[in-house]
Amino acid sequence: MSTAELGLPVDVPSTALFTDRYELTMLQAALRSGAAQRRSVFEAFTRRLPEGRRYGVVAGTGRVLDAVENFRFDAPVLDFLRREHVVDDQTLEWLAGYRFTGDIWGYPEGEVYFPGSPILRVEGSFAEAVVLETVVLSILNHDSAIAAAASRMAVAAGGRPLVEMGARRTHELAAVAASRAAYVGGFRTSSNLAAGFRYGIPTVGTSAHAFTLLHDTERDAFTAQVDSLGRGTTLLVDTYDVATAVKAAVDIAGPELGAVRIDSGDLLLLAHRVRQQLDDLGAKNTKIVVTSDLDEYAIASLAAAPVDSYGVGTSLVTGSGHPTCSMVYKLVAREADDGSLVPVAKKSMGGKTSVGGRKWAARRVDEDGVASAEVVGSGPVPDDLAGRRLLVPLVRGGEIVGREPLEAARLRHIEARAGLPLSATQLSRGEPVLPTEIL
């Protein structure tokens, strides 16, 4: 199903220059040596999870498919490469006709992963696969980091709604991708209209402190907002004195007031006081929204507070301290002279070794259906794991076959996380909740 068929107004420009120069210089040398057309297998994986994290979350797969589909070297791009003497004329001619014609398999978006999991497997000629390295990694590393942070926050929230509101804390284009990844990880809405436009993510938002400060009095501001947006709106009550603002809010909107938002101060104490005040004023159904530099730990600390939803910005869009997943894109197999695939792997000191071979992955479960191990292998798949393989086809013969609605990835993550041992949801530092077995 194409993006257009899904009804999503996604317009992705050419991604051809989301590329490191050495990918094109390798291509030039491989074209000259004759090795460029060798069938090759690249895999994206991480050797370790961010310190203390118990699982990772695959996000960005849909964006990777868009990037592969739009990896085209048009005339202005080719002129730039020629002008800067990046590659020779033979390579420019080859790039002018570039279309990925290989196969891509990967963990479906929203699935969890662990060290060594072959999150994405790209198969094709060396030439057409090697140039995708940077764009694939930039998407997967960023989006998966945001989704992992979002997942932890969703666990901490215990079912209470989460609002993504971090656009002003990151690059304007990264903000849209972050909103998408946060939605996969468990957030329900976003303040970012571009994310709503591109990906159909529900958007929310009412007013900031500037709106209150614009008016002569707080009551004037509340009256203007209620008159315009209705009694179900959310009023921001911490510009001056919270108790005074809550009383004014209910006076103006009545018990039908939708919600109040608290954006500063001792959120735990204020939430209890505001809830009591709202109840005393007859606004028992008015909800309390809290914001103010929240992360998963702050959200967890408010578990016993009468908070109805959380808005999260800075911590979310920076991966809550881990803005990347350290994924790499490595050649693991190449065509031999006889046409067979032979495993290849870097041998290195310092923990940068990798395992060669075209891999499959499966998740072993115990007698209760709870995941017990991530199993990765390059030989035959054991019979007991044949029905639990994780990689799915995403691109076949250059054609996108793995597109799906974003909601499918979101629901998949809920299911995948629920299948992990209970310790996966602990916020304290720990080792990966599943061991990775290499067969």
If you search the block for the tokens 């709202």, which residue do you land on? 278
Q: What's the pLDDT at 346?
A: 84
Is 124 strand, coil or helix? strand
As a whole-number percent, the residues of the chain with pLDDT over 90 amount to: 93
Same CATH fold assignment for domains 21-131+329-438 and 156-321:
no
Q: How far is the first Cα of the chain from the last one, in angstroms, to the nearest whole number?
A: 35
Provide mean pLDDT across the span 68-82: 94
More confident residue, 82 or 349: 82
CA-based diameter of the chain, in Å? Answer: 83
Nearest to 391 by CA among 162, 109, 32, 200: 109
Nearest to 361 by CA among 371, 353, 348: 371
Rounded distance between C-alpha atoms, residue 315 and residue 98, angstroms: 39
Rounded distance between C-alpha atoms, residue 276 and residue 297, angstroms: 25
If you search the block for the tokens 């196969």, which residue do you land on? 103
* pLDDT over 50 (residue 322): yes
pTM attached to this predicted model: 0.93
Q: What's the pLDDT at 12?
A: 57
Domain range summary for the chain, segments of one domain joined by +: 21-131+329-438, 156-321
Confidence of residue 350 (pLDDT cuts 50, 70, 90): low
Look at the domain 156-321 and name its fold. TIM Barrel (3.20.20)
Please give the backbone phi and psi of residue 227, each rounded to the nearest 5 degrees, phi first.
-60, -35
Provide mean pLDDT across the span 147-161: 98
Rounded distance between C-alpha atoms, residue 57 and residue 36, angstroms: 33
Nearest to 370 by CA among 432, 409, 415: 415
Is 42 strand, coil or helix? strand
* pLDDT over 70 (residue 11): no
* pLDDT over 90 (residue 433): yes
Nearest to 105 by CA among 401, 437, 342, 330: 401
If you search the block for the tokens 């291509």, which residue do you land on? 27
If you search the block for the tokens 């971090």, which residue do you land on? 166
- Cβ atoms 41, 97 nearer than 8 A: no
If you search the block for the tokens 């919270």, which residue do you land on? 242
Kindly compute the dihedral angle of the four CA atoms of residues 421, 424, 425, 430, in this order, to the nearest 10 degrees. Answer: 140
Rounded distance between C-alpha atoms, residue 230 and residue 228, angstroms: 6
Provide mean pLDDT across the span 285-311: 97
Residue 50 DSSP label: S
| Cα atoms in the Cβ-side hemisphere of radius 13 Å centred on 20 | 10
Is 403 strand, coil or helix? coil
Confidence of residue 2 (pLDDT cuts 50, 70, 90): very low
* pLDDT over 90 (residue 347): no
* pLDDT over 80 (residue 309): yes
- Cβ atoms 26, 129 nearer than 8 A: no
Nearest to 119 by CA among 328, 333, 318: 328
Q: What's the pLDDT at 1?
A: 47
Concatenate the DSSP letters of all residues of 235-290 into one string.
Answer: EE--SS-HHHHHHHHHHHHGGG--EEEE-SS-HHHHHHHHHHHHHHTT-TT-EEEE
pLDDT digits (tens, 9 = 90+) for 174-187: 999 999 999 999 99
Length of the chain counted residue by residue: 439
Structure tokens that stand for 209 in this block: 């402190």
Q: What's the pLDDT at 326?
A: 94
CATH (residue range 21-131+329-438): 3.20.140.10
More confident residue, 401 or 353: 401
